Copies of this chain bind each other. A is one copy, B any other.
C-alpha cells in the first residue's frame, strides 16, 4: 500500500510540522511532546484540551483555534498520548487558567488523561474533564456502557464547549454543559474498506468486494454486522433506524447532524448519503437545525461514513454550533 510518507518513525512529527507550516500565524508546535496549541492560549478563563492517538486527522489538531480547542495532544498512530505528554500540554496554560479535558472513551485514553489530570491537581491546577462516549454500535446489552467509544460526535462537543469557553463559561459550567451534550449525542458508522495502518502489515479486518461492515470502530474494532452493499439509502435507513430506537424521538424534536467521512470517502458520496439522511429525517418530521458534512474524524484511509445525531435540548447549543471559528478543519 503506497502512502505519501517518509520514514515511518517520523510520521507524526512530519505531519504536525506540515500542519504548523499551514497555520504558523495562529498555532505553535511543541515537537518534544507533539502538541499543537493556540498562540493566544491565555485568552480564555478555561483552556479546552483534547487529543488522542493519531490516524484520525483532522482530529484533533484541525480544531485548534479561536472558538474551539486551545490545545491538541497527538499520540502515535492509534496510541493515545502518554500522561507525560498530556501533563506537558496542561503546563502550557497559564496557572491562573482552568483546564477542561475532552477525553474519548477508550480505556487507555481515559487512563492516561485522568492520570495527567491528577498530577496537574497536585500542582495546584484547577482542572476537570468530560468523557465522550457517542458510539452506539455495540449490540450486546451487558457490555454496552463499557464499550461505548468516543468517535466523530466528539467534534460537536469540541465546537459547543469551545464556543461556550470563548464566551467566558466557568470550568463547572463547561463540565455540566459537556455532560448534557454527551447524553444527547449518538454516532453510528459503516465501513466499506478497512484502514491501512503504516505500522501494520495487515488490515484489522477484511471485507469481500461487495460487503460493508456496520458499527466497526475507528481503530478497526469489531462491528455488529457484515452484509452485502446495496445503496447509500440502505445504509442510511439501517443507521437511522438504530439511532431512532435510542432517542424515541417525536415530531418536531430539534436535532443537529454530523455526517463524517472516515478517511478515503469522497465528498460526492458524503453528500449523497446526506441527502438520504435528509429524506429520512423529513419523513420523521424532525426539525433539523444544523448539518455538517465532511471528513472530520477518520480512521486513516478507511472508506466509510458515520452519522452523529445530537438532540438539541437548549437553543444555546444551536447558537454555539453555528458561531464563527478560526480553525483549519471545521
- Residues of A that sit less than 8 Å from B by CB: 2-6, 11, 14-19, 21-22, 54-55, 57-58, 62, 192-193, 209-210, 212, 229, 231-233, 235, 263-278, 288, 291-295, 298, 300-301, 303, 305, 329
Contact = CB atoms under 8 A, between A and B. Distances in A.
20 contacts: A2-B303, A4-B232, A4-B272, A5-B268, A6-B232, A11-B272, A14-B232, A14-B276, A15-B268, A15-B271, A16-B271, A18-B273, A18-B274, A18-B293, A19-B293, A22-B274, A55-B268, A57-B271, A58-B267, A264-B303
A55 to B, nearest CB: 7
B4 A270 contact: yes
**Number of identical protomers:** 2
Contact of A266 (B22, B193, B235, B298): B298
Contacts of A293: 18-19, 22
B18 A278 contact: yes
B4 A235 contact: yes
Contact of A17 (B62, B232, B263, B275): B275
A196 to B, nearest CB: 10
A267 B22 CA distance: 12
A3 B269 contact: yes
Most B-side CB within 10 Å, residue of A14, A17, A265: A14
Most B-side CB within 10 Å, residue of A6, A292, A294, A329: A6
B4 A267 contact: no
Contacts of A5: 231-232, 268-269, 272
Contact of A57 (B264, B266, B277): B266
A276 B13 CA distance: 12
B264 A301 contact: yes
Given A2-B210, A4-B273, A18-B293, 18 more contacts: A4-B192, A4-B265, A6-B233, A6-B276, A14-B232, A16-B271, A17-B278, A18-B272, A18-B274, A18-B275, A21-B275, A21-B278, A57-B271, A264-B264, A264-B303, A266-B300, A266-B301, A294-B329
A79 B192 CA distance: 27
Contact of A268 (B6, B271, B294, B300): B300
Contacts of A58: 267
A4 B11 CA distance: 30
A235 B233 CA distance: 39
A136 to B, nearest CB: 20
A264 B177 CA distance: 36
Nearest to A10: B272
Given A4-B265, A232-B6, A18 B271 contact: yes
Most B-side CB within 10 Å, residue of A3, A270, A278: A3
A129 to B, nearest CB: 27
Most B-side CB within 10 Å, residue of A54, A232, A275: A275
